Amino acid sequence: MTGSATDPLHEELLAIALEAAARAGELLRDGRPADLAVAATKSSPVDVVTEMDIAAEKLITGLIAGHRPHDGFLGEEGSSVAGTSGVRWVIDPLDGTVNYLYGLPTWAVSIAAELDGETVAGVVAIPMRGETFHAVRGGGAKATGAWEGERVLAVRPAPVLDQALVATGFNYVATVRAHQAEVARLLVPLLRDIRRSGSAASDLCDLAAGRLDGYYERGLNPWDMAAGDLIAREAGALTGGRPGERPSGDLAVGGTPGVFEPLQALLEDFGAWHD
């Protein structure tokens, strides 16, 4: 999508999100202790939280509240405030915690701003790649990187499905991911290949940047996809859930025009939307 004039409030929210993501990314990159350990678990013993997830969310919510004290929050690590302004911030302070715990580089800070229930601004910072992706609704999507400055994002021209590179993710609950593995087994012979990075926000941004042709995953939460979904759509991707539905915890699908619909149809046929 090409850039256009955008609402000043959306630009204000974007600027705050960019500042918060940069600060949290620096904290996570530079403050990671050598003896980093698991602070808690979530859905299963292998779905973890570290002390750094908690510290990053506290930094983000504190910074945003300093600028906009009447906004609401929904954060992965427990921030939940209703707010009175009509704006809600949907925050994943560290998307890809297991990667971070193991010292792998694909992890991200994801911050989205919703206005009256619609996402209007989104930022995904991937500090170990030196990249920050951002978008406002109706204004296109952009990325900044030290190697090339700022660039406008656009999805790849759509290949035929059997030449499409598609990313996915797997749940941390063993019974759920067993079915997800079966869906991937059925799907992979019909594609160029499947990738699994461990960060939904990063995958959606790679779709926006033309590095993937499609993406799907079951079991995402709002904070996993709010910013990345907006960035992908503003770069020209189509996103949804089951046919005719929006992305949800049942299923989130994204793709270039020409890949999205056949990928979505296969996922429906293979039962990717249930365990």
| Domain CATH for 165 | 3.40.190.80
Report the pLDDT value the prediction gives residue 219, as an integer from 0 to 100: 95
What is the arithmetic mean of pLDDT over 160-179? 94
The dihedral over CA atoms of 53, 55, 61, 64, expressed in degrees to the nearest 10, equals -110
The answer to whether the beta carbons of residues 122 and 134 sit under 8 Å apart is: yes
What is the arithmetic mean of pLDDT over 126-150? 94
pTM above 0.75, yes or no: yes
The answer to whether the beta carbons of residues 156 and 213 sit under 8 Å apart is: yes
In a domain, 79, yes or no: yes
Residue 206 has pLDDT above 80, yes or no: yes
Top-confidence residue, 3 or 12:
12
Look up the CATH number of the domain holding residue 148: 3.30.540.10
What is the arithmetic mean of pLDDT over 129-157? 94
Least confident interval from 8-17, 65-74, 87-96, 144-153: 144-153
- On whether both 243 and 166 belong to a single domain, the answer is yes
In a domain, 165, yes or no: yes
In a domain, 56, yes or no: yes
**Mean pLDDT (the chain, rounded):** 94
**Alpha helices for the chain (secondary structure H):** 8-30, 51-67, 97-102, 174-187, 200-208, 222-234, 260-269
- On whether both 166 and 127 belong to a single domain, the answer is no
For residue 64, give Cα distances in angstroms to 30, 113, 141, 153, 256: 21, 11, 22, 26, 33
Top-confidence residue, 176 or 164:
164
Report the pLDDT value the prediction gives residue 146, as an integer from 0 to 100: 75
**Alpha helices for 68-140 (secondary structure H):** 97-102
In what order do the strands lie in the sheet containing 252-255?
193-195, 165-168, 214-217, 252-255, 238-240
Residue 195 has pLDDT above 80, yes or no: yes
In what order do the strands lie in the sheet containing 80-81?
80-81, 72-75, 87-95, 108-115, 118-126, 131-136, 141-145, 149-152
Report the pLDDT value the prediction gives residue 212, as an integer from 0 to 100: 98
Distance CA 143, CA 165 (A): 21
Residue 200 has pLDDT above 70, yes or no: yes
Residue reference for tokens 């694909």: 106
Q: Residue 114: give the domain boundaries.
A: 8-152
